[in-house]
Amino acid sequence: MLRFIEDQRGQRQQEDPLQGLRETPPRLSPRYFYDSLGSHLFAAITELDEYYPTRLERSILVGQGDAIARSVGPGRTMVDLGAGDCVKAELLLHRLQPAHYVAIDVAGDFLKSSLRRIEAGFPRLKITGVAADFSAGLQWPEDLECRRPLFFYPGSSIGNFSLPDARALLRSLWQACAQSDEGCGDLLIGVDLLKSAARMQDAYDDALGVTASFNLNLLRHLNRIAGADFDVRAFRHRAHFNDERQRIEMWLVSRCDQQVRWHGGHRMLRAGEAILTECSYKYSQEGFSALLRDSGFEVVRRWLDDTRGFLVCHARGIAG
Ligand code: AVJ
C-alpha cells in the first residue's frame, strides 16, 4: 500500500537559490546536490572505499539491529528523513516491524522508484512517500496521521547543519513528536565522529573523483533550475577538514577569472576564488549527546561500530 504526497511548503519558492553567491566567501546550498543524477552520484559515493560513514553505520544497523529493535519497539510510524535510496531503512524494517513507513526526500522521483522497491519487498507494509524539503524544519503533512513516530535520521546528515541550525532542526522534530497523536516520539540518528583529519579528508576527496563529480553536479543542477551559466569545466573540487570548526568543507575552486550569470544576478570570480558548497560537521560522543539534550531529547541508548568511528543514538523527546 503506497501513497505519495508532494509537499511544496518547505521549498522556499521565493528564495533565489544563487543568493549565497553574493556573499564572501560565495556559497551554495548542499540541498541542490540532489537532482536525480546527484542522488545517483551520492549512492555511488556510499560504495567508495574512502567513504567510511555509510559502511560503519551499516555495520551498526546490521550488527546491532536486534538491540536497536528491542530499544525502539514494534508498531511505530517510522519517518525516514532524507530517505534517498531507502537502503538503510530497508536494513531495519524486518526487525523494527513498524506500523507505517513514511519516507521523506527532496528528490521526489528518485524516492518514488526507491519506494516501489520497498513495496515489492514488504507487500503488507503501509508506505507513504513525501517529496518535501525539511531542512528548515519539519512540517508534518496535514492529512497524514502520526502515531508514535520514530524519526530515523541516518547517514550523519545532521552534520550538514551548523550547531544552531542542527538544534533548530532537531527541535522541529521534537515538536512533531509532541504534536503527534500520543504526544511522544523518538529519534534514531546516526552521526560521524571525529577521527584523523587524513581519514576524514580522503572520504570527501576520493581517488576516482566521484565526490568531485557530485560537487560539480551542483553547478549543472543550478544551470537547469536557476538559469545560471556555470561552466562546469572551469571549476575544480577541493575538500579539507577545518580543525577550528570541526567540519569538512567542500569547495568549488574557480580555475580562471570568470563571470557567472543567473536569473537575478551575476558575480565575478577570480582564479583560485572558491565557492563553499558543503560543510559536514564531525562530533565527539559528548558533543552530540549535548546537542540532543539541548534540543529536547534524552539519550535512551547508543551504539558504536567496532572502530568507534560512527555513532547511532536512540533518543526520546522529553515532554514539556
Ligand atoms: C549526506 C550530508 C551525510 O556530509 O558525508 C558525501 C554528503 N558529501 N560526500 C556527508 C556527502 C560529500 C554526506 N551527507
Residue-wise pLDDT for 148-159, tens only, equals 999 999 999 999
Q: What are phi and psi of 125, to 5 degrees?
A: -80, 135
Of residues 302, 306, 279, the one with CA closest to residue 200: 279
* Start-end of H helices in 29-143: 36-45, 52-63, 65-72, 87-96, 108-121
Q: Find the mean pLDDT for residues 171-175.
A: 96
The kind and range of the H/E element at 153 are strand 149-153
162 pLDDT band (50/70/90 cuts)? very high
The pLDDT tens digits for 42-73 are: 999 999 999 999 999 999 999 999 999 999 99
Question: Is 239 or 34 the better-scoring residue by pLDDT?
Answer: 239
Q: So what's the pLDDT on residue 138?
A: 93
Q: Which residues contact 163 (CB under 8 A, 6 or more apart)?
A: 281, 291
Cα 73 → chain centroid: 24
Question: Under a CB-based contact definition with an 8 Å cutoff, are residues 160 and 34 in contact?
Answer: no
- Residue of 184, 220, 193 lying closest to 73 (CA atoms): 184
The predicted pLDDT at position 14 comes to 63
Tell me which amino acid residue 281 is.
Y
Per-residue model confidence (pLDDT) at position 15: 79
- What pLDDT is stored for residue 82 in this prediction? 94
* 302 grid coordinates: 547508543
When pLDDT is cut at 50, 70 and 90, the band that residue 319 belongs to is confident
Identify which of 51, 156, 312 to mutate to test ligand 1's pocket (most ligand atoms within 8 A of the CB): 156
The predicted structure's pLDDT at residue 264: 87
Q: Tell me how far apart the alpha carbons of residues 42 and 84 are, in angstroms, rounded to a whole number.
A: 9
Distances (CA, A) of 251 to 44, 254, 311: 20, 10, 26
How much is the pLDDT for 277? 98
Q: Whose CA is nearest to atom 10 of ligand 1?
A: 280
DSSP β-bridge partners for residue 276: 27, 251
Write out residues with Cβ below 6 Å of ligand 1. Answer: 45, 53, 155-157, 159-160, 204, 211, 214, 278, 280
User: Is residue 105's pLDDT more than 90?
Assistant: yes
Flag whether pLDDT at 23 surpasses 90: yes
- Kindly give the distance from the C-alpha atom of residue 42 to the centroid of ligand 1, in angstroms, as a whole number: 8
Q: What is the pLDDT of residues 194-242, one digit of tens each?
A: 999 999 999 999 999 999 999 999 999 999 999 999 999 999 999 999 9
Question: 193 C-alpha vs ligand 1 centroid, how far in Å?
Answer: 13
Tell me, in angstroms, the distance from the centre of ligand 1 to residue 211's CA. 9
Q: How far is the CA of 127 from the centre of ligand 1 (A)?
A: 26
Of 199 and 142, the structure prediction assigns the larger pLDDT to 199
Measured in angstroms, how far is the CA atom of residue 320 from the centroid of ligand 1? 33
Percentage of the chain beyond pLDDT 70 is: 99
